[in-house]
């Protein structure tokens, strides 16, 4: 409440607001929530750390808490899960079901090909909550580059919405690397785009606020959840671009010219 004077002061100036203030105001306006992130990979850990930084309570969900805490295999950043957890001690580690039950908003950062199986079993815990789906339908069974196991006339986002009819599924973040997802300012000062898809307008509004608090300034609402076909089918291009630009740190910027 004590920050309202700041919001009042900066919004009195009718010049376009400095992006720093836009992000700060979004952080102050976004109510602090209990957010459950399903998946302990690079994506899940990146969002859990960032959400804590933004003042939220983060819970990370895994199949087996003891096994995950004891996993001695380092990830791409060189840390084992427990080393990462030592650096992020306020993140609670729970089973998928316990995390989904406690979270007010759920993030799906599971491997694409296990997503439907895992989420089907969590229908009771997820109910009508917002579910931000970051997963991609990648099939690595025939090696690299992976193919898409669902595409053209369907998408993983739609399949999730089908099995969780009451949930408000919003596809987001899946078109960029996890570092960029949680900190868009790492690229071109944040001058690039994130695309979201989903059926529920209020849920999109809440996700928009959350994205702005992460620092996202350019958010494209592509339409209903069927539009997730487009962002999921971008993955084959994303993977080839990674090979060409020799770095996963890139993203899309949409440039338009009024006719």
Ligand X SMILES: NC(=O)c1ccc[n+]([C@@H]2O[C@H](COP(=O)([O-])OP(=O)(O)OC[C@H]3O[C@@H](n4cnc5c(N)ncnc54)[C@H](OP(=O)(O)O)[C@@H]3O)[C@@H](O)[C@H]2O)c1
Residue 64, burial from CB neighbour count under 10 angstroms (0-12, 13-18, 19+): exposed
Spell out the SS3 assignment of 132-184: EECCCCEECCCCCCCEECCCCCCCHHHHHHHHCCCCEEEECCCCCCHHHHHCH
| 184 near ligand X (CB under 6 A) | no
Of 1-9, 123-131, 133-141, 213-221: span binding ligand X (CB under 6 A): 133-141
How far apart, in Å, are the Cα atoms of 231 and each of 11, 35, 196, 223, 259? 34, 24, 9, 11, 26
Identified binder of ligand X from the candidate list 49, 109, 125, 159, rule CB under 6 A: 109
- Smallest distance from ligand X to CB 206, Å: 21
- Neighbouring C-beta atoms of residue 254, cutoff 10 Å: 9
User: Measured from the CB atom, is 15 or 72 closer to ligand X?
Assistant: 72
User: Measured from the CB atom, is 19 or 248 closer to ligand X?
Assistant: 248
Identified binder of ligand X from the candidate list 68, 125, 159, 161, rule CB under 6 A: 68
- Smallest distance from ligand X to CB 104, Å: 21
- Smallest distance from ligand X to CB 4, Å: 36
| 111 near ligand X (CB under 6 A) | yes
Between residue 25 and residue 54, which ones bind ligand X under the rule CB under 6 A?
39-44
Backbone angles phi, psi at 107, to 5 degrees: -105, 135
User: Measured from the CB atom, is 157 or 215 closer to ligand X?
Assistant: 157
Length of the chain: 259
Pairing of strands 147-148, 138-139: antiparallel
| 237 near ligand X (CB under 6 A) | no
| Binding region for ligand X (CB under 6 A) | 39-44, 62-63, 68, 109-112, 114, 118, 134-136, 138, 174, 177-178
């Amino acid at each position: 409440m004590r920050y309202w004077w700041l919001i009042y002061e900066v919004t009195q100036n009718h010049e376009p607001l400095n992006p720093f203030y836009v992000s700060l105001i979004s952080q102050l306006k976004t109510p602090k929530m209990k957010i459950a992130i399903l998946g302990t990979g690079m994506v899940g850990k990146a969002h859990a750390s960032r959400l804590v930084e933004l003042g939220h309570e983060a819970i990370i969900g895994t199949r087996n808490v003891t096994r995950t805490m004891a996993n001695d295999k380092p990830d791409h950043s060189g840390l084992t899960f427990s080393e990462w957890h030592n650096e992020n001690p306020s993140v609670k580690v729970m089973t998928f079901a316990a995390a989904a039950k406690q979270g007010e908003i759920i993030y799906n950062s599971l491997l694409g090909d296990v997503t439907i199986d895992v989420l089907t079993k969590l229908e009771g815990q997820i109910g009508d909550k917002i579910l931000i789906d970051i997963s991609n339908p990648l099939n690595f069974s025939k090696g690299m580059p992976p193919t898409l196991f669902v595409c053209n006339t369907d998408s993983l986002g739609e399949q999730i919405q089908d099995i969780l009819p009451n949930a408000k599924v919003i596809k987001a973040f899946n078109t960029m690397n996890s570092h960029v997802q949680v900190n868009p300012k790492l690229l071109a000062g944040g001058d690039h785009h994130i695309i979201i898809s989903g059926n529920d307008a209020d849920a999109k509004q809440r996700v928009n606020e959350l994205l702005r608090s992460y620092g996202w300034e350019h958010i494209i609402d592509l339409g209903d959840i069927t539009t997730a076909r487009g962002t999921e089918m971008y993955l084959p291009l994303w993977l080839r671009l990674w090979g060409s630009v020799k770095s996963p740190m890139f993203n899309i910027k949409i440039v338009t010219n009024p006719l």
